[in-house]
Amino acid sequence: MSQVMEPKRSNELMELEGQYGAHNYHPLPVVLSRGEGVYVYDVEGKKYFDFLSAYSAVNQGHCHPKIIGALIDQAKTLTLTSRAFYNDSLGPYEKYMSQYFGFDKILPMNTGAEAVETALKITRKWGYEKKGIEENRGVIVVCSGNFHGRTTTIISFSDDSDAKKNFGPFTPGFVTVPYNDMDALKEALDLPNVVGFLVEPIQGEAGVYTPAVDYIANVKKACNERNILFIADEVQTGIARTGSLLAVCGNCSCQDKCERQETYNRPDVLILGKALSGGVYPVSAVLCDDEIMNVIKPGQHGSTFGGNPLAAKVAMAALEVVNDEHLIQNARKLGDLFRNEMNKIIAKTDLITLVRGKGLLNAIIINDSPDSSTAWDICVALKNNGLLAKPTHGNIIRFAPPLVMTENELMQCVSIIEKTILEFKKSNN
């Protein structure tokens, strides 16, 4: 006999988190209990379009049957061996990843921050052992406004005071340059002992800052000329989000999968996370060629869960879905449509000043001070109208729906956004 449970009310659940959980987030007041494709449902049963996709981890849509199927099958078979032993999923996964992304080798980890840490360690070690930099002197250049995760080393080169204040002392060996500024970058790359340049091809957390179209190509060239590793953090931008397999692919015109024609700015070190798992389970990875990866020897780096059979099967299924459902092409097509529609709304209101982005990673800029609550209030109004998005950095709202969205669904979302923005303006005049 099935027991009918009275659903716990949203308020009770929010109070529980408030009382028993650390206050390290400030969530929108909505309590979700179910997800399917582009939709999520709250505990009262109200349906929403998910326009955040867990910061682009759920590119393949919520609870994708193929990915969940892979998870369940493997969960019944073998979940964790540690890397003390071989397992029969890891090798096939590593081969699949190597061929899918075109690098000799992969180092499997779990979270995005761990993969960034891994890339930094590989880069430093390469600098000492292959480039001949004196040990402990290696410098890695990073960008202002960066977001690469939350570990102590990573926040050491953040310029977000919330991320950094009172968490020191910090890890040395990083130099910051303004994003999208080639002159400043070249100057920094010419400093002594530089081993790598770590960059997001589009700065997601900072507010979806898209650099000049030739920035990444120039970055690659400047790094190559100086024998400095070009490290692309594609944790948020990768896996079809921006309308190509990777944001560094540029504007290729492939049909099935990103062909990476002349526009492909292949990094020396590629960092992936988030959508590598389809939002199902933490999976991240660092990819590079043998001459770089082979600086890591047994015992020098690792993770108990990294490369476990569950992660391997989930990630392969997640990447197959990207191909099966042509998510690259869909993100590109719907992204163009979305920005076009946002520009029509911008023409009707002075509440939004700009839409920017690539593929389905976009943001609108709200015409108010970054310290005002306007962007937050708009997100609450969007929620009430059935669409979930979150402000990033004050007056910016990021819009990043799952890539399995249809054109019809996207147009419904555009209507919700238009209605909300136009009504919002009225109620505040």
Ligand X SMILES: *Cc1c(COP(=O)(O)O)cnc(C)c1O
Residues with active-site annotation:
147, 233, 274
Q: Which of 35, 37, 112, 145 binds ligand X (CB under 6 A)?
A: 112
Q: Which of 51, 55, 174, 264 binds ligand X (CB under 6 A)?
A: 55
User: Which helix (H) or strand (E) element contains residue 225?
Assistant: helix 215-225
Q: Which is nearer to ligand X, 42 or 205 (CB)?
A: 205
The answer to the question of residue 204 lying near ligand X (CB under 6 A) is yes
Contact 238, 221 (CB under 8 A): no
The answer to the question of residue 116 lying near ligand X (CB under 6 A) is yes
Q: Which is nearer to ligand X, 250 or 273 (CB)?
A: 273
Closest CB 205 distance from ligand X, rounded Å: 6
CA distance 361 to 402: 10
The answer to the question of residue 113 lying near ligand X (CB under 6 A) is yes
Provide the β-strand partners of residue 47: 41
User: Which helix (H) or strand (E) element contains residue 16?
Assistant: helix 10-20
- Count other C-beta atoms under 10 Å from residue 4's C-beta: 6
Closest CB 56 distance from ligand X, rounded Å: 7
The answer to the question of residue 149 lying near ligand X (CB under 6 A) is yes
Closest CB 13 distance from ligand X, rounded Å: 23
The answer to the question of residue 148 lying near ligand X (CB under 6 A) is yes
CA distance 49 to 416: 10
Two structure tokens written together for 413 = 């979302």
Among the listed ranges 95-103, 146-154, 301-309, 393-401, the one in contact with ligand X (CB under 6 A) is 146-154
- CA separation (Å) from 290 to 140, 153, 166, 268, 370? 21, 25, 39, 11, 45
Question: First vs last Cα of the chain: how many Å apart?
Answer: 56
The answer to the question of residue 233 lying near ligand X (CB under 6 A) is yes
Closest residue by Cα to residue 381 from 7, 28, 125: 28
Two structure tokens written together for 73 = 């099958």
Q: Which is nearer to ligand X, 113 or 417 (CB)?
A: 113
The answer to the question of residue 273 lying near ligand X (CB under 6 A) is yes
Q: Which is nearer to ligand X, 227 or 304 (CB)?
A: 304
Q: Which of 235, 270, 311, 312 binds ligand X (CB under 6 A)?
A: 235
Give the residue at shortest CB distance from ligand X: 112
CA distance 286 to 26: 30
Closest CB 403 distance from ligand X, rounded Å: 16
Closest CB 32 distance from ligand X, rounded Å: 19
Among the listed ranges 88-96, 143-151, 213-221, 248-256, the one in contact with ligand X (CB under 6 A) is 143-151
Contact 212, 178 (CB under 8 A): no
The answer to the question of residue 207 lying near ligand X (CB under 6 A) is no
- Count other C-beta atoms under 10 Å from residue 114's C-beta: 23
- Count other C-beta atoms under 10 Å from residue 372's C-beta: 13
CA distance 329 to 311: 26
The answer to the question of residue 147 lying near ligand X (CB under 6 A) is yes
Q: Which is nearer to ligand X, 56 or 420 (CB)?
A: 56
Q: What is the binding site for ligand X (CB under 6 A)?
A: 55, 111-113, 116, 147-149, 200, 204-205, 233, 235-236, 273-274
